[in-house]
């Protein structure tokens, strides 16, 4: 047994001071007051910092120089997981952006095999499209967007039997409430996104079983006084959690504060990176569906300036939420760890030493506990 002392310890809700993170011989962790440590306990003093579970990211399109869309296979998944582990991510959902049915099937097969092999970091799959709204397609290829069919539902029902953590982002313009209910009953986590629907349509989709909204505010109908849109519905429905890209580019901090104050239900806003091939790499451009995406000044855009994912790590998002949005540090830490983990039918284990990270007090860097 070893006790890590000298750092604040995040227990999922609170940053505890004068506590130790105790790791037993099997790697399980426990938190206890330093004053109550048994005599002769071996200690590992730390010079401040924060001990926290590693991050959980439910929307990761790429990393390490590769995109899932470009090669939906095991090699790509390993590269992505390794790249994001360097950024403090313990568990991620590789995300396939709108593509062909063949690519969807390949991504399902690759993630199924990754889970079977136990590839570290791969916790499930997020299919973002192709059943979206062309009006709110963003960087998605409009030529590949289409309605949800019975064959799609059959494919997803088979997939979720092998991939318990399966998110499907769709627009209610291209999926009926009955179809959403069928996916939900099968175990698929349905998320609304890339949609121009009105408030009532969104609420019907949420009532049918959709439980999430994909990158709140971005690529969706906005909220105004007489037409709350998908933004308003996501914040108003008591059982809906919303992903958020907190990078200072996608959403203004004033709107983030307004959303956090307006969120009505017990389900909470959680942080995502929407990371692309640039995550954990130094590349300055890459391709998606044969279109070049450029990395400039913290933005990823198509040639016409359309935002195309984010150049962001979850540590950067936590820092932005704390320093710019103004949340107490415990809240963005939860939004990057226990809140997204709790959304999943099969949550990743966050109480093992291998899942813990040490974060510098100024939130500028991190290291894995096992590497200290």
Per-residue pLDDT tens for 165-192?
Answer: 999 999 999 999 999 999 999 999 999 9
Judge if 111 and 6 occupy the same domain: no
pLDDT of residue 116: 98
Question: Do residues 202 and 333 both lie within one domain?
Answer: yes
Looking at the fold, whether 303 and 207 belong to one and the same domain comes out as: yes
CATH number for position 121: 3.20.20.140
* The pLDDT of residue 287 is above 90: no
* 350 in Cβ contact with 69 (< 8 Å): no
Burial profile 265-297: b = 16 or more Cβ within 10 angstroms, e = fewer: eebbbbbbbbbbbbbbbeeeebebbeeebebee
Confirm whether residue 215 is marked as ligand binding.
yes
Can you tell me the distance from the alpha carbon of 138 to that of 158, in angstroms, rounded to the nearest whole number? 29
Annotated binding residue at 194? yes
| CATH number where 32 lies | 2.30.40.10
Average pLDDT of span 45-53: 97
* CA 185 – CA 157 distance, rounded (Å): 9
> Is 44 annotated in some ligand binding site?
no
Domain span including residue 13 = 2-52+354-371
Q: How many domains does the chain contain in total? A: 2
Residue 160 has pLDDT above 90, yes or no: yes
Residue-wise pLDDT for 57-95, tens only, equals 999 999 999 999 999 999 999 999 999 999 999 999 999
pLDDT tops 90 at residue 297:
no
pTM above 0.95, yes or no: yes
- Whether residues 220 and 298 fall in one domain: yes
- For residue 267, pLDDT over 90 is answered with no
Same domain, 15 and 106: no
Catalytic residue set = 274
128 labeled part of a ligand binding site? yes
Q: Tell me whether residue 219 is annotated as binding.
A: yes
Band of the pLDDT at 298, cuts 50, 70, 90?
confident
DSSP, collapsed to helix, strand or coil, labels residue 22 as: strand
Q: Is 308 annotated as a binding residue?
A: yes
From CA 8, how far away is CA 34, in angstroms rounded? 11
């Amino acid at each position: 047994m070893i006790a890590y002392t000298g750092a604040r310890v995040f227990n999922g809700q609170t940053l505890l001071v004068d506590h130790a993170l105790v790791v037993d011989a099997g790697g399980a962790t426990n938190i206890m007051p330093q004053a109550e440590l048994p005599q002769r306990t071996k200690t590992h003093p730390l010079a401040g910092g924060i001990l926290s579970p590693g991050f959980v990211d439910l929307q990761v399109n790429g990393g390490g120089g590769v995109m899932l869309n470009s090669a939906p296979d095991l090699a790509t998944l390993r590269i992505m997981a390794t790249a994001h582990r360097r950024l403090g991510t313990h568990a991620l959902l590789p995300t396939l952006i709108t593509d062909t049915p063949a690519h969807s099937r390949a991504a399902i097969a690759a993630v199924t095999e990754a889970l079977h092999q136990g590839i570290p970091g791969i916790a499930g799959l997020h299919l973002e499209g192709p059943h979206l709204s062309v009006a709110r397609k963003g960087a998605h290829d409009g030529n590949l967007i289409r309605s949800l069919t019975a064959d799609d539902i059959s494919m997803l029902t088979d997939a979720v039997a092998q991939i318990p953590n399966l998110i499907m982002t769709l627009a209610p313009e291209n999926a009926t409430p009955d179809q959403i209910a069928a996916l939900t009953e099968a175990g698929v986590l349905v998320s609304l996104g890339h949609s121009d629907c009105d408030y009532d349509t969104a609420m019907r989709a949420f009532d049918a079983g959709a439980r999430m909204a994909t990158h709140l505010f971005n690529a969706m109908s906005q909220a105004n006084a007489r037409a709350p849109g998908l933004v308003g519905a996501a914040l108003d429905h008591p059982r809906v959690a919303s992903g958020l890209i907190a990078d200072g580019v996608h959403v203004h901090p004033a709107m983030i504060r307004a959303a956090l104050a307006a969120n009505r239900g017990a389900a909470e806003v959680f942080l995502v990176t929407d990371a692309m091939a640039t995550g954990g790499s130094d590349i300055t451009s890459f391709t998606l569906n044969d279109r070049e995406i450029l990395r400039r000044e913290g933005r990823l855009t198509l040639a016409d300036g359309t935002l195309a994912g984010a150049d962001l790590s979850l540590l950067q998002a936590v820092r932005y939420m704390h320093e710019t949005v103004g949340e107490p540090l415990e809240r963005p830490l939860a939004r990057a760890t226990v809140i997204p983990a709790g959304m999943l039918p099969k949550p990743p284990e966050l109480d093992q030493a291998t899942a813990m990270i040490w974060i510098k007090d100024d939130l500028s860097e991190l290291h894995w506990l096992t590497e200290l």
